[in-house]
Amino acid sequence: MPRSARITIYVLSVWLCGVGSRSVGAAEEFPFYHENVMGTSLELRVQAESAEAARWAEQRVLREIDRLSAIFSGYDPASEFSRWQANAPGGVQVSPELFEVLQASDHWRARSGGAFDPRVEALTRLWSACAQQDRTPTADELAEAKALMSRDAWRLDPVDRTAQRLSECPLSLNAIAKGYIVERACDVALEQGRGVRGLLLNVGGDLRVCGETARTIGLAPPRGDSETAEPWTYLEVRERSVATSGDAQRGLRIQGRWYSHIFDPRSGQPAAQTISATVVARRGADADALATICNVLSVEESLRLVDALPDVACLLVTSDGRVARSQAWRLYEKERPRPLPLALADDQKSPAPGTKGDEGASKAPPPPRGSVA
């Protein structure tokens, strides 16, 4: 499931046994780093009673990521999702994991009023093809893609756990599956104990903190060099998933103008109003999907949606430098953001007027640097 790193997160604090936190016994932290995991880099920090227990957790995490990638990858033609897309004119029984993510996709498409939609892959392919010709899509091309997207994508039967493809519109689960995978990988490493107290797993900016851990995370500025920039705000999370989406590291350059790689399924246009959305949620799939949704919706719509959800918070940055927080963000924010150090809406980076949304970036600084996508 290769994707460019979506966020850069600076993991600044240590485990609960660290300074200012209660002790959790003899456990200590063991860091691990891997490249080319789901097409990106992986940072894992294990709080364990021994190096052996930490290595056991590392292997459990990597095996679970491999197993779930073989289900969800849209790039591997042999994955379950790819095979289902290609060969499911009738209802076929799918794995519990694929069925769960398809159900979650239906939920967020309905809850967001269509701002989240796996059928957006049709727009991604169209805009990518046009970008190679250094042009934007024509009105006729956009109308054709939107007509293809207007057909129902699938029908699910929870009794038999079957999924039936209903159209030939290309689909993508990229905006929800990685958060799901990261959470499940953490779960399997903790479920059998083995002296593992807690985990922090960061795969391309989809991050999960679980177990006996609390982390202070610094978010890099939405634009600029996220590898070297100092954090501009901090949040503390425990037993939560964090996802950020925006246009900092992925997009299309057409005739000198930068366009987000996040598209509004309703208009067919790239997201442009929000350049970075960071979401904290209990579930990884929810954080992942909502980070995209908050790029597509207006700031007001995003805040209204997030404020209506339990245990969810968001921080939004707009192209003109405005910062907006949901009501629950204060529960996680360690300090107020400092002024952003650069103009966010410069001519080279800002998308075309009249479009909405974007994808943001946060990162992991030294010591242990890890990001993935």
Q: What is the mean pLDDT of residues 55-59?
A: 97
Q: What pTM was estimated for this model as a whole?
A: 0.85
Q: What is the mean pLDDT of residues 36-64?
A: 95
Higher pLDDT, 215 or 308: 308
> Class of the 75-172 domain?
mainly alpha
pLDDT at 50: 96
Higher pLDDT, 251 or 147: 147
Higher pLDDT, 361 or 41: 41
For the chain, the average pLDDT equals 84
Closest alpha carbon to 179 in 326, 92, 282, 333 = 282
Residue 263 CB partners (closer than 8 Å, separation 6+): 120, 123, 124, 127, 269, 270, 271, 296
pLDDT at 227: 58
pLDDT for 88 beyond 70:
no
pLDDT for 26 beyond 80:
no
The single residue listed with the structure tokens 């009249």 is 354
The single residue listed with the structure tokens 């932290």 is 29
Q: What is the mean pLDDT of residues 54-71?
A: 98
Question: What DSSP line would sit under 296-318, residue for residue?
Answer: HS-HHHHHHHHHTSTTEEEEEEE
Residue 127 CB partners (closer than 8 Å, separation 6+): 136, 137, 252, 259, 263, 270
Tens digit of each residue's pLDDT (9 = 90 or more) over 278-330: 999 999 999 999 999 999 999 999 999 999 999 999 999 999 889 999 999 99
pLDDT at 358: 32
CATH topology of domain 214-366: T-fold (3.10.520)
Question: What DSSP line would sit under 253-281, residue for residue?
Answer: EETTEEEES-B-TTT-SBP-SEEEEEEEE
| Domain segments of the chain as ranges | 11-73+177-204, 75-172, 214-366
Tens digit of each residue's pLDDT (9 = 90 or more) over 173-201: 999 999 999 999 999 999 877 899 999 99
Identity at 235, one-letter amino acid code: L
Neighbours of 319 (CB within 10 A): 24
